[in-house]
Each structure stands twice: as C-alpha cells, then as structure tokens.
Chain A
Amino acid sequence: MSLIPGLLSAIVFLPLAGAVIVPIAARLAPGAAKWIALAVAAVGLAMTVVLVAGFDVSAAGMQAVTNVSWVEQAGIRYHLGVDGISLAMLALSSLLGLIAVIASWKITERAPAYFAMLLLLQVGMNGVFVALDFVLFYVFWELVLVPMFFLIGMWGGARRDYASVKFFIYTLAGSVFMLIGIIALYLSAGTFDMVELAAKGASGAFGIGFQNWVFLAFFLGFAVKVPVWPLHTWLPDAHVEAPTAASVLLAGILLKMGTYGFIRVSLPMLPQAAAAWAPWISVLAAISIVYGAAVAFAQTDLKKLVAYSSVSHMGFVMLGIFSLTAAGLNGAVAVMFSHGVVTGMLFLIVGIVYDRAHTREIAKIGGLSQAMPVTGGLLAFAAFASLGLPGLSGFVGEFLSLVGSWQSAVIPQWVTIVAAIGVLLAAAYTLWMVLRVVLGKPTETVTGLPDATPREIGMLVPLIALTVIVGVWWSSLLAFVDPAVRALVAVITKAV
C-alpha cells in the first residue's frame, strides 16, 4: 500500500485549520467548538491510522516524504517525513490528542479558546515528530509552548500563573541553547536539512571538539524537556496546575519531544560526542530514575506523585538511548510510547476523581475500590502497567533499556544496577499509592461519589487495549521501531 502524497502535511496542518475555524464557528453556533475539535482530532487520528497502515516496516529511511523549497535564500525547506520512531510518536500524539478532546468535554469556561488551543497544540506536537528541516523543527518545537502556556495559565489550578510562566520560561531557556546548536550546525554544514546533517554526522564531517560543545547545547535544550535531573522542577508545578487534558499531553507527548530530539539529532548528527557524553548522561539517567521514584514516594498529592514518577520513567528512556545499543534504543522508544499511554491513563483517572472529590490529597481519597469500583480498578490497572508488570506495556521498555544498558560499552555496570533498583522503587511508590487510594475502607470525601461515566471509561479503553497489546505482542510497536534503530546503531558503531 503506497502512501498518499501530502498525507503528513494534512495530519500536521488539519488541526491548524481546526484551530482557526473553532473560534469563528463558536460565534455562529455556541457549543460547536468541542464538536469541531472532536471531528478534527478524529479525522487526524484516522489519517494517522492510514499512514501507519501504509508504512513499510521492511524499508529503512524516511517515508511519506514531502520535500520542497520554503525560504530559498536561506536554504530552508519544507521537509517532512517519518521513520518508525517518529511514526510511533505521531500515532501516540494523534491518539492522545483525540482523547484530550474527549477528556475536556465538560469544559465550559471559554470553551472555543480552549479547544482552539488544544488543536494548536496538536499542530506543534505532530509537527515536531515529522519535521526534517531544522527551522521547521524549531518552529514546531516553540509552537508547542504557546498553547500549553495558555492551557495551564488560563484553565489551570490555583497556582497556574506561577506554573505556566515557569514552564514557558524554563523550556524556552532550554530551546535557546538548542537554537544555538542548530545555528552552529548550519554554519558548519551549510544546511538545515536534518537528513543531510545526519549523513554528514555519520560520515565524520564534524570534528570531535565541535561536536562536544554543540552536543552540550542540544543537551540543554532537550534535557529540560525530558526532563533530566536536576532540570525537572518545572514539571511537577506544571502538571499539578494543568487541566487534565493538558497534563495528559504534557506527560504523554511534550516530554517525549526531548528524548525524541536526542534520538533524531544528538545521536545521528553528533555520534562521537554522544558516545563521549554517554557515561555521564547515564549517571544522570540513573539519578533521575532513583531520585524521581524516591520523591514520588513522599508525595501527598496524587498528581504530583504521577509527575515525579514521570521523571523516573523518563530516566529509563535516557538510559536506553545512551546505551547506544539496539536493545536500549528499542527499549527507550518502547518506554516513550508506553509512558505516554500509561501516564495518560493515570492522569485521566486522577482527573475523574478530582472532578468529583475536588481534591487530589491522597489522605482524603481512599478506598476507591469500594466507593468507585470501576475507577479504582482502572487506577490499579494503570498502576500495575506503570510499575512494569510483564504482559503490560511498561515492562517492555524498562526491561529492554536495562538489557541494553548492561550490554552497553559506554555505561558502567553499577549504573545499570542502580537503575534496576528503580524498578523496585517504582513498585514501592505505586503500590503504596494503591494501598492508600484504592484499597481499604472509603474515606468520607469519596463516599457516595458517582463512578466513572461511559464517556470516561470509553476514553480509557483504547489506552487499556494498547497497554495490553504492546505488552503481549512487542513487535506490534517494535517492528516499526527496530529498522530505524538498526540504521542508527550502524551509524554509531561506525563512528565510534
């Protein structure tokens, strides 16, 4: 099955059209905003499914490519394309985008603006994963900031001003360094084209001294986004204040932009620097894993607990990436995907509880298995997926990251052991949460609350299904990922 030309562009820019139409249509027909957003997100997902179906897993390299000149004088091109890794992220982005719309169904406060922002965010998220020109990449990267800033700042919780501005500045500060890196690469290689730059990096066109400091610049840009310890403190604030849908997308997609950047930019373009820095980054990854888990254990706010658990999980992604092995890179992408699905699920469930109980204090919500059995059961399911139970998606990536990390020539083995302890600590904070929130007798706050509605259960069903499918049939995801990983590992092996 061949791919329709322009499909990628349609997937990226359809939500932009939606974002423009929504405020206009809402003037004509109040209440239309969410329906338009739903339709746009659904069509976007459908187009992504078509893209996935037409994707040739046996072929290496970019597919569904569009490559035309954009700003000719500057050599900037409109260059889009996907390989298996970007496809996995794009699919996740489209799915979570649709679920975010459904999760926001009860938003009434300035709904047209809200849904327009959600769709605008979708443009940026989709774009980052398919852009193959650095200028385009950068534009999408920064585009994501703006709607997220407004989603947190306008529809967020009590400390939304602080959280939204902090989020904006912190990540913008990071991307300034990334911009410097982009410009440095451009000045050295004379192109913004990411495929060409990767080829140049693979052929050893960049000296190691140059690579080292450009790598550092990109590292700062990406690491803030991931976030890597100790650059993570914007995350708990942003998560706690963000509305549910924004939390889902923040954890599900925005964090992955950082690790995606490492895979798409740092490794192929600067392979020698990546290998040189890998031991140090692996140490940061192990710290992120253990530190995130330990801090999550102490949290009394359910959402903050999930936020810190993200720091821990993203540490596994970093560990897998900088193992520079096929197992580790497959594992990293698997964690990226699974964390998006599972943490999305967790935030949605926390949202369900919060909508009713109006609190996220763990001490106040207890005994959900009796008070809200469906919600409690789903929370327990998501928790076990999150702690890496085999047969569910969380296990795949964590296990492969550890396998790759142990195998890696650049990561010291004690780092892998420390990271493996993170698996235990994940069980500790997760089960401790389950014990307090799901098990036991219901607290006063949750007694008599209505259970999840069909809409709420419905939006979780695809995530549950993906968790099980990927967990049991690993190649449903990794068959797409491995060819891209293979090419990447070949480059690194040659360069190092």
Chain B
Amino acid sequence: MAWVALIPLLPALAFVVMLPMSRRARNAVRWLPAAATIAALGLSVAAFFAVLAVGGEEPVFRASFTLAELGGAPLAVGLRLDAVSAIMLLVVTIVAACVQIYSLDYMRSEDRRGWYFAVLSLFTAAMLLLVLAGDFLLLYMSWEVMGLCSYLLIGFWHEQDAPRSASIKAFLTTRVGDVGFAIGLAAMWASAKSFDFAVVLHGFEWTVPAATVVALGLLFGAMGKSAQVPLHVWLPDAMAGPTPASALIHAATMVAAGVYLVARALPIFHEAAPWVLQLVMAIGVTTALLGALLAVVQHDIKKVLAYSTISQLGYMFIALGAGSEIAALFHLTTHAFFKSLLFLGAGAIIHATHTQDMREMGGLRRSMPWTTTVFVAGALALSGVFPFSGFWSKDDILMVLYTGGHWYALVAALAVAGLTAFYMTRVCVRVFGGSEKAHAHEAHPAMLVPMALLAAITVVVGFTSPAFAGFLGEAKGWPDLGMAAVGTLAALAGIGAGVWVFGLGKVDTAVLKRRLPRVYAAFVNKFYFDTVYGIVFVGAYAHLSGWLARFDVSLIDGAVNGIASAWSKVSSVAWSADVRLIDGAVNGLAGAVTRAGGRMRTLQAGAVQGYQRLAYGALLVLLGASLLVPFVGTTVALAGGAVALLLMGVLVVRGA
C-alpha cells in the first residue's frame, strides 16, 4: 500500500518540474500537471476501493516518520488512509483534475502560466497530503503550505493593486486563525505527548480543561481557513485571483479544510466543555446567515459565489456543532462539486464577456447554451432542489438539527436555504435571462468537458447519501419525506421570490434602497467588518508600530546614548587628572585605533567621543576586575590577551 504516498507525491513532482519553467512554459510540458493530477485521481480511486474492500473505521494503510526526538520522546508524523481520507482524496483529485484541464485553455494566453500550473500542482499536493495526514502536525504543516499557494495564486496578477492586497490579506487573516491552531497543537502535545489521530482521538483520557483548550485552538484555526465570522473577510477579496484557482482553492478544497479539521477532531470537541460545540454551531449559524445575506446584494458574479461559499461553509459548521461529522462531510463533498462547477461556469462567462459585473451580462442562454445548462444545474444543486446533490446533503443537515432538537439552528438553516435559492435565482436571471448585452461565445471544449463532468457528478452524487454514511460507518436510510418537503418548500419559496423580484421585476429594488438607507448601507459595507478591522487592527497596528519604532530610537537608544554622553561628562571632569595614568596604558592604543579607523567623522562625534571614553573606562574595569583573581598568571592572561588581540588587529589593519 505504500503507493498511497504517490498520491500527493505526483502533483508535488509536477511542481518541481514546472517551477524552473515558471516564466516560459513550453507547450510540451503544459499537460504534465494535469497528467499528474489525473494519475493521482486514478490512485485515489484505487485507494477508495481498497478501503471499501476492507470496510470498518480502522485505517487500511498507515505510515509513520519520526521527525525528531524531544528528550527521547519521538515526534512522529504519518500518513493514514481510512474511509474519511479516501472520500476526501476522491473529492480533491476529481476537482483538481477538472480545474487543471480547464485551466489549460483558460490560462492559455498568460505569460506566467508555468508559474500558475506549478503553484496549482503544489497546492494539490499539499491538499492531498492534508487529507492523508494521520496526525494533526502533518495536517497543520500541509495546511500552511496550502495557505502559501493560496497567497501566491490570489496574487497571480500582482502588478495590479487589488490582487496584491487581497493576497496579503488572505494570508494574514488565515494566520490569525493559525495562531490559535498552533496553541491548540502545543496544548495537545503538553497533554498527550502526541499528535497522532490514533492516540489523541481514540483512547486518550482527556481532561475537560485540556480538551477545551485544544478544541478552541483548532476551532480558531478552522475559522480562519474556512472563512467563518469574524475571520471571513479575506475570502471575497481572494476572488482577485484567477477563477479556476478560486474554484479549486477558494470554493472546493482549501476553504473546506477547516471543516475537515473540526470533523476529524470532533472526538476532542466531545470531550471539551459542552459550550464549545454550541459555539461551533453559533459561529456556523452566524456565518451561514451573513454569507447568504451579503450574497444577495453583490453585483460581481464571483463575489456572489464567494459569499455563498462562506454561507455554505457556515452550514457545514452548523452540522459540526450538532456533532454530526458525517452530515458536514457529505455537504462538504456535494458542495465541492457543485461550487467548483459554478466557479468554472462563472469563469467561462467572464472569459466570454470580459466582465465580472452581472449588470453588464444578460441573455447568455443563447450564445452559451452549454455553459448555461451546467451552471443552472449547479445553481439548482446549491439551492437544494431535488434531485441535485445539494438537496440531499442539505436535507441531512436539517435532519440532524431536527433530531438533535437544535431549533434555532434549524430555523436559521431553513432561512439560509431560502435565501440561497433566492440569490442564485437572481444570478441566473441576471446572467442568462433578458436580452444579450454584449457579444459572447461558447467556451472552448477543454473548458466545457470538465464542467460537464462536474455537472454529471452534481446530478448523481446525492443519491449516494445512504451509501456515503454507510461507508463512514453509520447506518442511514433515505431522507424523511416530511423534512424533504420542508427543505424543498424553502428552496421553492426562494426561487419563487427570486423570479418575482428579479425575473418579473415586481419589486423595485431602487425603492428599497431609498426606503431603508441604513440597511442598504450596512449591506453595501459588508456589515462594516472590513471598516472596523481597518481601523482597529490594520490602522492601529501601523500606528503602534511607527510609534514603537520612534520610541526605540528616541527613548531606548536615547538612554543608551545618554549613558554614553553622561560618562563622557564624568570622565572629562576626571580627564585631566586621569590622562597621565591612562595615557601609558591606553593612549598609544587609542591613537592606533583612531588612526586605523582612519576617517573618524564629525558625524555623531559627541556620542563617539563618549563611547571612546567609555571604552577606556571599560578597559580599566576589565583590568581591575581581573585583579580580583588571586593569581597573577590569570591577570596577565586576561589583560594581556585582550590588549594583545586589539593590538594585533590594529597591526594587521595598518600593515595591510
């Protein structure tokens, strides 16, 4: 089974090969990253069947590598192939392969496409390593490498301002979460002396306080990566990167890594204080609502999808808060496919219309029929319409909330379901409905084929719902008809409202803006998160840092220089008396130093003089101190040594 290690290794090799060709990718190797990813996909399928054949929750493959020994205790990282990682491998490799193929045409005219494919491959390798990791340390390490790739791809067009600032914002915001992650890991090691899933998740006796600290730390990390409120602000900006990269990283895989982390660590969350899981749910509810509300008012098609991603990740957090990692992971899976499909569709639209603003689109159903078809399939899935995949996974989550008695979350989840259908209807109406505003053309087959594949998966994958749960070790039947009806009603209500408002134009949105100016302003300003962060964190930190830098020079260094010049004054009083005494010992030396130094400038002369006298003083102290040693030999050795060395230096310098 050691071939499992090849799954992340193949894209990593593609990265190594592509890196030197970053700036001038030859056509001959363009297919290489895609080929490596497809090969990884093939191996992932094999891995899936290997797990299926064995069944059960035990991993079918484990490998361990001792990174270091700490005081004799081994610190190991390792790989682990079990049911969860097998599913994640499939999700990641399928989406990554689609994105790689799609990018071949999408990025065709970019100068630095070699760099793009190299980083995309490194990302894929890191994400695959993350889901194969058998311990939290390796997971964290690949997590950070993904963050690097995300940063590099967001800033792909770094000559422009927006991608540049979006890239640094993404890295730093997620790193806020990573501070928590790191502390969670430190606390994990302090308790369990291990990061291994097998140890910390099964069998280790957690105390409640320890588990609480660890769970909170991991949760904080997950919130950064999965763009949960209040660390969600980076994801909409991240849309400044190339759209296929957004599809893979900022929709399907990396942003879901936080959900994956919490799902993996859920046994620790169960050991923690009960309010931790309630917190997870509250964060999920807030995020799901906030994302859905803001998605409604965006004009940039990618921004709608970005806020939608935030909202859906919140949905997964709700499921995690209810303690169901299976519902969360199933929604992660279906979402990965339909959201990457939507992003690739949006990419095709942007490619064809040269705009991301939906107000400049319209009527594309005629010029881009295939893109329209697959995009609408994705939109229906996201809206939770039977039989598309989103229906199934959303239903699972609603059911979990219902059986768990989480009423406020259930109501919020239904509201989000309705809102989701509403804003996706808005997108479809704006982009595909109405009359054609600009000339567009259908996407290249290299782009259409991956989209069609994802659309096909989106149609069928929902039906695996019972099998999915069974594969992860939980018996589950077909959806409850009552809950299915309620969920479907929410979706249909959203679609109906969307058609009513945007399709038929029954509500004048301009009137709403006038009637509710404050509400409108709050929406336009994204509920003021960026504004507040800009003042409280970014602005304040820049001020503090500037102030500290001045403080460093004026006060701390000022004190140092002050001591030097004070010494200079003290010594100048005693100078005339001392000068004969010191002369013999150091004047010749000082002269030599001065001459050797050559051009002693008047610049900083006062301080230099102070320092010089301080030097002589220090030498005297040194000599005096060594006199304390009751052996003449030592004194000679120390004093003679110091003086001789200085003299030697002088002589060498002058001699040359």
A143 at the interface (CB under 8 A from B): yes
Q: Which of B545, B621, B625 has the most CB of A within 10 A?
A: B545
21 contacts between A and B (CB under 8 A): A71-B637, A74-B629, A74-B631, A76-B637, A116-B656, A146-B649, A159-B604, A165-B611, A166-B564, A169-B614, A172-B615, A172-B622, A179-B625, A298-B548, A326-B73, A390-B142, A391-B145, A407-B186, A407-B190, A439-B155, A440-B159
Q: Which of B173-181, B363-371, B374-382 lies at the interface?
A: B173-181
A193 at the interface (CB under 8 A from B): no
**A423/B186 in contact, CB under 8 A:** no
* Contacts A162-B604, A294-B548, A427-B171; A390 near B144 (Cβ below 8 A): yes
Complex formed: what's the CA distance from A133 to B185 in Å?
A: 41
The residue of chain B having its C-beta at the shortest distance from the C-beta of A388 within the complex is B144
* Contacts A233-B556, A297-B542; A402 near B70 (Cβ below 8 A): no
User: B70-111 CB contact bits vs A (8 Å, 1 = yes)?
Assistant: 111101000000000000000000000000000000000000
Chain A residues within 8 Å of B186, by CB? 402-403, 405-407, 416, 420
B208 at the interface (CB under 8 A from A): no
Complex formed: what's the CA distance from A180 to B618 in Å?
A: 13
Closest 7 CB pairs of A and B: A326-B71, A113-B656, A390-B141, A406-B186, A298-B549, A162-B604, A233-B557
**B549/A295 in contact, CB under 8 A:** yes
B608 at the interface (CB under 8 A from A): yes
Tell me the number of A-to-B contacts counted with CB atoms below 8 Å. Answer: 249
A354 at the interface (CB under 8 A from B): no
**A158/B603 in contact, CB under 8 A:** yes
A39 at the interface (CB under 8 A from B): no
The residue of chain B having its C-beta at the shortest distance from the C-beta of A71 within the complex is B633
The residue of chain A having its C-beta at the shortest distance from the C-beta of B606 within the complex is A162
B655 at the interface (CB under 8 A from A): yes
B486 at the interface (CB under 8 A from A): no
Complex formed: what's the CA distance from A431 to B171 in Å?
A: 9
A112 at the interface (CB under 8 A from B): yes
**B168/A432 in contact, CB under 8 A:** yes
**B557/A478 in contact, CB under 8 A:** no
B189 at the interface (CB under 8 A from A): yes
* Contacts A169-B615, A395-B141, A403-B185; A424 near B164 (Cβ below 8 A): no
A399 at the interface (CB under 8 A from B): yes
Shortest distance in angstroms between A393's beta carbon and chain B's nearest beta carbon?
Answer: 12
Q: Which of B61-69, B465-473, B510-518 lies at the interface?
A: B61-69
* Contacts A390-B141, A424-B175; A135 near B70 (Cβ below 8 A): no
Q: Residues of B within 8 Å of A, CB-based: how many?
A: 87
Band of interface residues on A: 35 or more
**B67/A73 in contact, CB under 8 A:** no
A176 at the interface (CB under 8 A from B): yes
Q: Which of B230-238, B431-439, B492-500, B640-648 lies at the interface?
A: B640-648
User: B606-631 CB contact bits vs A (8 Å, 1 = yes)?
Assistant: 01100110110010011001101101
Complex formed: what's the CA distance from A373 to B621 in Å?
A: 53
B350 at the interface (CB under 8 A from A): no
Q: Which of B159, B549, B655 has the most CB of A within 10 A?
A: B549
Residues 140-181 (chain B) with a chain A CB within 8 angstroms: 140-142, 144-145, 148, 151, 155, 158-159, 164-165, 167-168, 171-172, 175-176, 178-179
**B189/A327 in contact, CB under 8 A:** yes
A170 at the interface (CB under 8 A from B): yes
**A475/B66 in contact, CB under 8 A:** yes
Of B71, B164, B631, B646, which contacts A489 at CB under 8 A? Answer: B71
Residues 460-496 (chain A) with a chain B CB within 8 angstroms: 473-475, 478-479, 482, 485-486, 489
A26 at the interface (CB under 8 A from B): yes
